Structure 1
């Protein structure tokens, strides 16, 4: 799951009353007093170091200076299913905030975020978005509900120090799943630490099982016209689960802490207690700002793909959306802020350099690999602009950066994504907690549960 790239359940109200929605807006009188528009914005995650908050506040000052009619107030915030309904009802949501690609459409359908088509189409780069990326912010009619950013592909993160201690070459990470399994066992045998770990709870188990299924050429859902069906009970997912079972019970290379979410696995990895795990390519930022990882120990490579022509890497990202009760002036201010803070730095040199300078001043990570919001050429140009400021260990990430554009990027399951991930959580947990788990039966049952969800 980005930030953001973190995957969490979207357990939100199916419908909201007019009274509840009215509580979400800041109100024209308060927000637009004295001819100024005041908006609250997602600034940093709970647990981030003070330097992260300081860098956001510095950028806010730059924005407010250039836009004296707008007052931006950053706040600590993170998308979480368990807190979103209460924030929605209590009117404590920021004016603008990020949500995962997979949750945008549900929020649109429940009328919990604002249509910002007019504001986005006024931006100079509006017609240059990668169509598949912009689609994550659109409804079926093409209306736009936010600015996409933080696009990532899943990667294999590994601890270079544990590789060395196990007698493995950290400059030669695994390129097949057989090698992943063998390296994991060697790390555990030689160091006593889990050679491989897997997220399993709060829908991250389903997210990762989907990722590995894609890497083997399978799919979790299939869509034909307006109909989407579950295809969880497939040979590729069974193969993935069988390998995890072998690593857990035969190789004993996955350790004993098997209930891990995005935050938990990052913490364990940064502490040197995990040899390898799969997560979004952008996770290095959180490992630094929240978990204080030692950069010298970090390595990143692509997720190995099988020889299947359908094998691909799961990709995702975030959409910066606007509270449904925002006024037109607030919507315009919010999109202008998101343009400044999240997107313009990808297409304009001055904005890219300003962002990099500000981050560098507070020693924040610069240059962590993401995927193009626009196209590969624009992505490469932006990295050239900020080359003097890049401070992440890029030489330890070449396994990813040199190879990711040769991988087929596959979108997440399109329908009831988080609910289906929740079904898959239970499957992964059972395989890793019960040596006698019946994988075929688990997949058959999960497929039926997912079909019932998709039929809703």
Structure 2
């Protein structure tokens, strides 16, 4: 997916994990085969749904509870039970196999195809297409939740991101660096990281290294340098390329920061949540992650608009680009027809309708902005629907945007013009799982054999690709 435009867009919080005020967009309800009670038979139905991250604060939890109450008032035949939810590669497979996932759950954008092919998601095609905007999705995104025949099993739900560079502006200033002129090359990142460490004693850079998150960010670094971890052969088969020269180049760069400059945070136990917490706690100055992570930093890690947060584009070179991804909402395979119907109503209510309706968009932004503490409104993300609708949304919510957009211009200036690189098409998480031990080895062992480790990882990754194909 690539978008082009000449004018930089700011950002729309309407694509974040929305917490809408109780409101009704008006108009007719989509006909998904339900009675007014919310199920095909008019009987009461209860669904469990993915809620907030386990680290969410009390204000966010109260907003979710209010939103559930408003939903149940609108659909008196449906009871919604929320549960804390964070997709983790290490636990998801067990939850899926054991039937312990909620009826509505979230998965990475790239996992949709595999789960569909394995018959592990419910068919929600009729319910989604019956929504007023059911035919209006960004086709390249929706394809991740469709089978070969175009049947819908999952929909883009939130935070379609590109990997970006996040940085602590206060640490830049303390080190005598200009936070309004963040690094644009990997060499500049290295120089800034060493300067920050030498001047402040704080690690200038950190990287995820735990579970698939570590492989994800190593892949992002390689993509930015023009490499890929999987190549399509043109005949429907794929080849693992974890030994791509760009992968090694990024690992050597990390090794230099760790063992030559002493500027890399010496922790090999940082996953997505852990590195957010470390960043929010002031343990590091820079790291790469999805452009949308500011929401999680605000809602779970104590970051505020005046904290000193900065966002800029990931450095790229040659044919490199920013790795992109996002989240799909799916429904558990064993859900009944009544549960599927109720689940899509919830997906519409919680994730999507606010992107199409001005009243709901404004209510969402107002509720988030007026929470105590305030939630983020305006975090940069890429559009689930059209770019034109995205711009229209910006106009709807402009009075409530509370993120420091002036400190995010390094990213927002290029977010629709930079080259975007999709994640690997087959066995994505398996490839990431083969890469993260290599990252850990580089962090913990100065003499790690990068070539040997990548050769072993590539062999195992190819086996995973062949098994999934």
The alignment's TM-score, normalised by the length of structure 2, stands at 0.87
SS at match of 1:148: strand
Tell me, yes or no, if structure 1 residue 341 matches structure 2 residue 341. Answer: no
Structure 1 regions of 5+ residues with no counterpart?
6-30
Determine the C-alpha separation between the residues in 2 that align with 1:321 and 1:381: 27
SS at match of 2:416: helix
The aligned residue for residue 434 of structure 1 is 445
SS at match of 1:126: coil
SS at match of 1:330: helix
Determine the C-alpha separation between the residues in 2 that align with 1:126 and 1:454: 33
Structure 2 regions of 5+ residues with no counterpart?
1-14, 17-38
The aligned residue for residue 243 of structure 1 is 253
C-alpha contact 1:200 1:261 (8 A) present in aligned 2: yes
The aligned residue for residue 50 of structure 1 is 58
Instruction: List per-residue Cα deviations over 1:108-141 (Å, max 9, x = no partner).
Output: 2333220111111112222222222111111222
C-alpha contact 1:427 1:442 (8 A) present in aligned 2: yes
Instruction: Give the C-alpha shift of residue 91 in structure 1.
Output: 4.4
Determine the C-alpha separation between the residues in 1 that align with 2:185 and 2:99: 49
C-alpha contact 1:298 1:396 (8 A) present in aligned 2: yes
Instruction: Give the C-alpha shift of residue 61 in structure 1.
Output: 2.2
Cα distance change on mapping 1:156 and 1:345 into 2, 3 Å = same
Tell me, yes or no, if structure 1 residue 230 matches structure 2 residue 240. Answer: yes
Instruction: Give the C-alpha shift of residue 441 in structure 1.
Output: 2.5
Cα distance change on mapping 1:75 and 1:259 into 2, 3 Å = closer
Tell me, yes or no, if structure 1 residue 332 matches structure 2 residue 350. Answer: no
Determine the C-alpha separation between the residues in 1 that align with 2:165 and 2:274: 16
The alignment's TM-score, normalised by the length of structure 1, stands at 0.89
C-alpha contact 2:324 2:421 (8 A) present in aligned 1: yes
Determine the C-alpha separation between the residues in 2 that align with 1:454 and 1:292: 40
Moved over 4 A (4+): 31-34, 88-91
The aligned residue for residue 257 of structure 1 is 267
Tell me, yes or no, if structure 1 residue 311 matches structure 2 residue 304. Answer: no
C-alpha contact 1:96 1:320 (8 A) present in aligned 2: yes
C-alpha contact 2:313 2:411 (8 A) present in aligned 1: yes
The aligned residue for residue 177 of structure 1 is 186
Determine the C-alpha separation between the residues in 1 that align with 2:100 and 2:223: 38
The aligned residue for residue 382 of structure 2 is 371
The aligned residue for residue 139 of structure 2 is 131
Cα distance change on mapping 1:83 and 1:257 into 2, 3 Å = closer
C-alpha contact 1:146 1:322 (8 A) present in aligned 2: yes
Which structure's relative contact order is higher, taking Cα pairs within 8 Å and 6+ residues apart?
Answer: 2
Determine the C-alpha separation between the residues in 1 that align with 2:322 and 2:123: 30
SS at match of 2:122: coil
Instruction: List per-residue Cα deviations over 1:356-378 (Å, max 9, x = no partner).
Output: 22223422211111111122222
SS at match of 2:431: helix
The aligned residue for residue 8 of structure 1 is none
Determine the C-alpha separation between the residues in 1 that align with 2:93 and 2:241: 31
Cα distance change on mapping 1:89 and 1:63 into 2, 3 Å = same
C-alpha contact 2:203 2:263 (8 A) present in aligned 1: yes
Tell me, yes or no, if structure 1 residue 273 matches structure 2 residue 257. Answer: no
The aligned residue for residue 221 of structure 2 is 212
Cα distance change on mapping 1:49 and 1:109 into 2, 3 Å = same
Determine the C-alpha separation between the residues in 2 that align with 1:179 and 1:347: 41
Instruction: Give the C-alpha shift of residue 390 in structure 1.
Output: 1.3
Cα distance change on mapping 1:92 and 1:383 into 2, 3 Å = same
SS at match of 2:211: coil
C-alpha contact 2:331 2:343 (8 A) present in aligned 1: yes
C-alpha contact 2:89 2:429 (8 A) present in aligned 1: no
CA-based RMSD of the aligned residues comes to 2.0
Within a 5 Å distance, the mapping from 1:393-412 to structure 2 comes to 393-412=404-423
The number of aligned residues is 426
The aligned residue for residue 39 of structure 1 is 47
Determine the C-alpha separation between the residues in 2 that align with 1:89 and 1:446: 26
Determine the C-alpha separation between the residues in 2 that align with 1:256 and 1:85: 30
C-alpha contact 1:199 1:265 (8 A) present in aligned 2: yes
Instruction: List per-residue Cα deviations over 1:279-332 (Å, max 9, x = no partner).
Output: 0111111111111124322111110111x2x31111111111011111122212
SS at match of 1:258: coil
The aligned residue for residue 7 of structure 2 is none
Instruction: List per-residue Cα deviations over 1:333-356 (Å, max 9, x = no partner).
Output: 111111121112112211211222
Determine the C-alpha separation between the residues in 2 that align with 1:376 and 1:193: 40
SS at match of 1:144: coil
Within a 5 Å distance, the mapping from 1:82-161 to structure 2 comes to 82-88=90-96, 91-149=99-157, 150-161=159-170
SS at match of 1:422: helix
The aligned residue for residue 3 of structure 2 is none
Determine the C-alpha separation between the residues in 2 that align with 1:453 and 1:112: 18
Correspondence for 1:449 among 460, 463, 468: 460
Correspondence for 1:70 among 73, 78, 90: 78
Determine the C-alpha separation between the residues in 2 that align with 1:59 and 1:147: 21
SS at match of 1:140: coil
The aligned residue for residue 12 of structure 1 is none
Cα distance change on mapping 1:90 and 1:219 into 2, 3 Å = closer
C-alpha contact 2:324 2:423 (8 A) present in aligned 1: yes
Determine the C-alpha separation between the residues in 1 that align with 2:92 and 2:240: 27
Determine the C-alpha separation between the residues in 2 that align with 1:202 and 1:86: 15
